[in-house]
Structure 1
Amino acid sequence: MRRCIISLAVFGFLFTTTVIWACSVPVFRYALERWPADKYSAVVFHRGDLTPEQQKLVSHFDQEGTVGQKSANVELKLIDLDAEPAREDLELWKAQESDTLPLLVMRTPLPAPVPVGFWSGELSEENIARLIDSPLRQNIAKQLVNGQTAVWVFLESGDAEKDKAARELLAQELKRMEKTLKLPEIEQADIEQGLVSVAPDSLKMKFSIVTCSRDDSAEQYLTQMLLSTENDLKDFDSEPMALPVFGRGRVLYALIGKGINPGTIEQACRDLTGPCTCQVKDQNPGTDLLMSVPWEKLVTPATQDEKELPPLTGLTSFSNSEAAKNDPASMAPLADQKTNPDNATAEKQTAKEAGQSVEVAESVSTQPSEAATIPAEDSGSRSLKFKPDYTLITLAASVIVIILAGSYLLLVRKQ
C-alpha cells in the first residue's frame, strides 16, 4: 500500500510540473517574448585609482551611459590588481598575457563556454562601441522583431568554393523547411494565459540567411563572439559555419563544414519551431549574443504600426573620430521596418559605399514577403507579466486531493 501511495504522489508531481513547464507556443516565439538576453561581463583590470579620462570611459557602462541608453546586455566589473583581487579574477588577468592597463576583457554569459573571455584589449570608446553593436547585429534584430522564425548567420571560411556549396545547400534546405514544417497549434489556455502576444495565425515559418566574412573589420567582434558560443569552434577556422539565431539574439548551436547537411538543418529548424517543452531558459540550449536592442519595448504589444529599432547613435566622441569616418555604417540608423522589395538593394548599396564586406541579410524566399507586425495595447509598450493559470492550479489541486483521498481510503481499509 505504501508503494502505491508513493507511486501516486510521484505521478501527480511529474504530471503537474510537466503541465506547468510546457506550453504549445513555438520555441522561437516564446523565446522572443519571454527570455531576456543574458548579460555579458565586461571586466576592467586596472591598478590604483582611475584617472578622470578612464572614469569617463567606465561611466559608459552606467545605466545613464551609452550601454544603458542602448539597452546592451552587458555589465561592468572593475578589478583593482593592487587591492588583492579574488583568485579567479587574478587567473583571468594572467590568462590574457597582456601588460595593457586598463585592460578590458569580455566574457560570455555564465556558464561561459570560453571562461578566459572571447576578447581583450584597450579600454577605449571605439572598442566599447564596436563590442556592443554592429550593422549585422542590428540587421539580425530587425528581422527577428519583424517575425522571422530564425536568422541563420553563415560564417565564411575563406574558401570560396567550399563556402558557396555550403551556403547554397543551406538556402535550399531552408526553403524546403518553410514548405514542409508546420507550426504547432497554440492551445486556447496558453493564449488566455498570455504566453503569446500576437494572433497565432500571424506566426509564420520563415528563415533567412545573413553572411559574415571573418575578414570584415566591422564585424570583427561579432565573429569572435560567435566562435565563443561553444568552447571548440575556434578549432574549425578553415570550415564554414551556420548558426541559427532566434529569440532575442540567442544562438542555438553551430553547424560546421560537412555538418551543414539536410539532416542537421532540419533538426535545428524543428527544435526552433516545435512547442516549447520547457519554459525555463537555462534548461534550453543556446548562448545569447551581445546586442544593443530594447527588446522589452519592441516585442510587447504597442501599436498596429510595425516596430522600428532606434537609430544607432553611438558614442558622440567616437562618431566624430577618424574610425567612424572610415566606417560610417557602424553607427548608421536602421532602415525603416516596413518591407520593401527595394530594401535589400538599398542596404547592399549602403554597405558597399561604407567599404564593408558583410553581405546584407536577404530572405531565403525568392518572393518579397510582408514582415510580421506586432499588435499593440492602448496603454502602450510594457513588459510582459506572467499571469497565473487558474485552470492549471485547479488541476494540480485536484490531483493532490485525489492522492490524499486515496491514501485515506487505503489506511481505513487496512484498519
Structure 2
Amino acid sequence: MHRNHRNDGDRSKALAIGMAAGCLLAVVFGWAVAWACSTPVYRYAMYNWASAPYQVFYFHNGQPADENEPADEDEAVNTTLAGLYDAEPASANVLLHAVDTSQDGQIELLPKVVVEARQAGPDGSSHAHIIFSPWGAKLYSGRMDPQQVQAMVDSPARKRVGELLDEGSAAVLLILTGPNQDANRRAEKAAADVVAKAAAGGIPIASAPDDFTTPGDLLPEPAGETPADNAGKGAGNDGGGDGGGDGGDGGDGGDDAPEVLKLAVLKVARDDPAEEWLVRMLLSVEPDLHEYSTEPMVFAVYGRGRAMPPYVGKGITVDNLTECVLFLVGACSCIVKDQNPGMDLLMRWDWQSTANKMAAQDEGISTGPLGYQEFTAGDSGDRTEGVGPADNASKTAAADGKPEGSMAGSGPLGPLGTEEAAPSFAARQAWKLGVGLGVGAICVLAAGLLVFRGRRSV
C-alpha cells in the first residue's frame, strides 16, 4: 500500500509539472494571438503583409531578334525588370518570367489565362511582354521600352502615397476623379469630412485591453533605462490630418489620452498621362469598375500600398468611408492576407523603413519584443529563368467574380519559385524569445515525464 501511495504521489507531481509546462506554452502562444487580435489592421498589414508581385511574362523564341527587332532594348528592359524585386532600399513588387517558345512544353506549363493572353496578342510577334496584376487581371500586352518600365513601377501619385504612409497616416483616401465636377466635389467633401472626423477623435483606434501584458513587461528594463523613461513613447504621433491630404500633428496628450487617427486625402485625375499605370491598377481591383468611367471613386490605401475596393459615385458618403476606415483601424483577426479585401498596388518604395518608423511610434509594441514582427516574402531565384510547373489551380478556368482574364483560384498568382528572405532584426529577436520559451517549456514537460516513468519503474 505504501508503494502504491508513493507512485500516486509521484504521478501527481509529474502531472503537475506537465500541466505547468502546458500552461506556459499556452501563455506564450496566447501572447502572440492577443497581440494579433489587438493590433489595428493597418498596422498589422504594414508589419506583416509583403506586397504581392505583379507578373511580367516575356515571350521569346530562343533566338536573337533579327535586325528589324530591337534586341538590345528588350535586354535593357528585362535587366531592369529582373532587378526591381530585390533592389535596395526601395524595391518594387514585380517579377519577370522569361518563356522560351522554341522549347517544347514551355507554353503548356503556363496558367491558362497567360496562354490565352498570348494567343490574343499581335500576330507575328516573337517577342512580347504580358503583364498581370496579383489577382490575374491583364494590364498590358505588347513590347515594353525602358520608359514604360519606369512609368509602370513609379509615378508622382504613388510616390506621394508612400510619403503619406511614411509620415504616419493610417490610410490614404485616394480619389480617382471623373469628368463630372459636381460629383468630384461631393467625393472630395466626403473624404475631407472623414479626415476631420478622425482628427477630432471620432474614429477610435483598436488597442489592447487595459490589463493586457506583453512578455516585455515581465523582462528587465534595458540597461540605463527605467519604466519612466519609456512612458509616453509614441504619443501624439498619429495626429489627425486635414482635408488637403498632408495631415497635421496630434495633440501632446498624456499616457491616458486616446490616440488620434491620422488620415490623408490624395486626388488623381483619371486622364493624367503620368498616372496611366496607376489608373489601370485601380480599375482592376474589381471586375466591373470600367463600367463606371464617369463616376469618381475613393480607394482607401493602407499597409504596403494595398488598395481597398472603392466606393463609387453616390456611394461615396461619410458613413461609408467611415465604415471602411473603422475596418482598417479595428482589431486584426484575419491573419491570412489573401482573405482580406483589396489588392496591392505596384510601387517602388522602402516599406521596411516605413514599417520601422511606424513600429517606433507604436505604443502597443514598444514594451515587448513580440510586437513588431515583420515578414518580407522574398524571391531569390533568377528572375529570367524559364517558367516552372504551375499548380493545378492555375491551369483551370478563371473563377467567377475575378476581373476578366483573371487567374483561377482564390489567391494571387505568386512567384514561380520563391524563397523567404531573412526577417528584420526585430522579427528575429521576437522569434528567439518565442523559441526560447517554447524550448524551455518542452524541456520542463520532458523532465516531468521522465520523473514519472522513472518513479513508476521502482
Same fold (TM over 0.5): yes
What is the 5 A alignment of 1:219-238? 219-238=275-294
Q: CA deviation at 1:165?
A: 1.8
Measure, in 1, the Cα distance between the counterparts of 2:161 and 2:131: 21
Question: Do residues 47 (structure 1) and 61 (structure 2) align?
Answer: yes
What is the 5 A alignment of 1:55-70? 55-63=75-83, 68-69=87-88, 70=90
Q: CA deviation at 1:288?
A: 0.6
Amino acid at match of 1:68: A
Q: CA deviation at 1:218?
A: 0.4
Q: Name the SS for the 1:385 alignment partner.
A: helix
Q: Residues 40 and 332 of structure 2 are in contact (CA less than 8 Å); yes or no, is this contact kept in structure 1?
A: yes
What is the 5 A alignment of 1:206-225? 206-225=262-281
Q: CA deviation at 1:47?
A: 2.5
Question: Do residues 385 (structure 1) and 405 (structure 2) align?
Answer: no
TM-score (norm 2): 0.58
Q: CA deviation at 1:242?
A: 0.2
Q: CA deviation at 1:301?
A: 5.6
Given the superposition, is the C-alpha separation of residues 222 and 295 from structure 1 closer, same or farther in structure 2, using an over 3 Å criterion? same
Structure index of larger Rg = 2
The count of residues paired between Structure 1 and Structure 2 equals 299
Given the superposition, is the C-alpha separation of residues 256 and 383 from structure 1 closer, same or farther in structure 2, using an over 3 Å criterion? farther
Question: Do residues 25 (structure 1) and 39 (structure 2) align?
Answer: yes
Given the superposition, is the C-alpha separation of residues 99 and 383 from structure 1 closer, same or farther in structure 2, using an over 3 Å criterion? farther
Q: Name the SS for the 1:268 alignment partner.
A: helix
Correspondence for 2:353: 297
Q: Residues 21 and 279 of structure 1 are in contact (CA less than 8 Å); yes or no, is this contact kept in structure 2?
A: no
Given the superposition, is the C-alpha separation of residues 161 and 277 from structure 1 closer, same or farther in structure 2, using an over 3 Å criterion? same
Q: CA deviation at 1:61?
A: 2.2
Q: Residues 238 and 262 of structure 2 are in contact (CA less than 8 Å); yes or no, is this contact kept in structure 1?
A: no
Measure, in 2, the Cα distance between the counterparts of 1:302 and 1:270: 19
Q: Which runs of 5+ in 2 are unaligned?
A: 1-25, 66-70, 218-231, 240-260, 362-422, 446-458
Correspondence for 1:161: 182
Q: Percent identity?
A: 27
Amino acid at match of 1:129: Q
Measure, in 2, the Cα distance between the counterparts of 1:303 and 1:183: 15
Measured against aligned partners, the alpha-carbon deviations of 1:366-392 in whole angstroms (never above 9, x if no partner) come to xxxxxxxxxxxxxxx94541625769x
Return the match for 2:205 from 183, 190, 208: 183
Correspondence for 1:125: 146
Given the superposition, is the C-alpha separation of residues 50 and 143 from structure 1 closer, same or farther in structure 2, using an over 3 Å criterion? farther
Given the superposition, is the C-alpha separation of residues 301 and 265 from structure 1 closer, same or farther in structure 2, using an over 3 Å criterion? closer
Question: Do residues 274 (structure 1) and 330 (structure 2) align?
Answer: yes
Q: Name the SS for the 2:57 alignment partner.
A: strand
Q: CA deviation at 1:59?
A: 1.1
Q: Residues 57 and 125 of structure 1 are in contact (CA less than 8 Å); yes or no, is this contact kept in structure 2?
A: yes
Measured against aligned partners, the alpha-carbon deviations of 1:144-181 in whole angstroms (never above 9, x if no partner) come to 01110111110011111221122212212332233211
Question: Do residues 80 (structure 1) and 100 (structure 2) align?
Answer: yes
Amino acid at match of 2:100: D
Q: Which runs of 5+ in 1 are unaligned?
A: 1-11, 306-380, 402-415
Q: Residues 251 and 287 of structure 1 are in contact (CA less than 8 Å); yes or no, is this contact kept in structure 2?
A: yes
Measure, in 2, the Cα distance between the counterparts of 1:302 and 1:156: 30
Q: Residues 118 and 224 of structure 1 are in contact (CA less than 8 Å); yes or no, is this contact kept in structure 2?
A: yes
Cα RMSD, aligned residues only: 3.5
Measure, in 2, the Cα distance between the counterparts of 1:270 and 1:288: 20
Given the superposition, is the C-alpha separation of residues 101 and 136 from structure 1 closer, same or farther in structure 2, using an over 3 Å criterion? farther
Measure, in 1, the Cα distance between the counterparts of 2:208 and 2:287: 36
Measure, in 2, the Cα distance between the counterparts of 1:301 and 1:163: 33
Given the superposition, is the C-alpha separation of residues 301 and 216 from structure 1 closer, same or farther in structure 2, using an over 3 Å criterion? closer
Given the superposition, is the C-alpha separation of residues 390 and 294 from structure 1 closer, same or farther in structure 2, using an over 3 Å criterion? closer
Q: Name the SS for the 1:118 alignment partner.
A: strand
Correspondence for 1:373: none
Q: CA deviation at 1:28?
A: 1.1
Return the match for 1:71 from 87, 91, 98: 91
Q: Residues 46 and 355 of structure 2 are in contact (CA less than 8 Å); yes or no, is this contact kept in structure 1?
A: yes
Given the superposition, is the C-alpha separation of residues 38 and 304 from structure 1 closer, same or farther in structure 2, using an over 3 Å criterion? closer
Amino acid at match of 2:198: M
The answer to which structure, 1 or 2, has the higher relative contact order (CA under 8 A, 6+ apart) is 2
Higher mean displacement: 39-48 or 85-94: 85-94
Question: Do residues 107 (structure 1) and 124 (structure 2) align?
Answer: no
TM-score (norm 1): 0.64
Given the superposition, is the C-alpha separation of residues 256 and 155 from structure 1 closer, same or farther in structure 2, using an over 3 Å criterion? same
Measured against aligned partners, the alpha-carbon deviations of 1:22-74 in whole angstroms (never above 9, x if no partner) come to 421211122112211111111112233344512232111233x6973541111
Q: CA deviation at 1:20?
A: 6.1
Given the superposition, is the C-alpha separation of residues 137 and 99 from structure 1 closer, same or farther in structure 2, using an over 3 Å criterion? farther
Q: CA deviation at 1:105?
A: 1.8
Correspondence for 1:372: none
Return the match for 2:164 from 124, 143, 158: 143
Q: Name the SS for the 1:23 alignment partner.
A: helix
